[in-house]
Amino acid sequence: MRGFLQPSLRHNPSDTQSQFAALSRHRRAHLAKAAHTTLVKASQWSRGIAVEAQVAEALDAQVKAHAAKAAKKAGA
């Protein structure tokens, strides 16, 4: 048994985190490097595990920039 009346902990990743997890390992490594962090920390962030706020903000910005660039490229 897990414990008395304690719900299991469940990580709920955001849309941005899910987008990051769907990218290839190569692309994730490049985005992590651009965000000045490691691929391990970036992967933890994408699974919804708590990381430093500074790292989370930088990764979020990088993923949004990548998505905007991909949308622009697909539209052109």
Q: pTM for the complete prediction?
A: 0.81
pLDDT in tens, 45-64: 999 998 999 999 999 999 99
CA distance 29 to 2: 36
5 within some domain: no
Residue 2 lies in a domain: no
Asked if residue 10 belongs to a domain, the reply is no
Domain that holds residue 67: 15-75
Number of domains in the chain: 1
Domain assignment of residue 62, yes or no: yes
**Structural domain includes residue 56:** yes
Q: What is the tens place of the pLDDT at every residue in 4-36? A: 677 777 888 999 999 999 999 999 999 999 999
Residues sharing a CB contact under 8 Å with residue 59, sequence separation 6 or more, in sequence order: 20, 31, 32, 35, 37, 42, 45
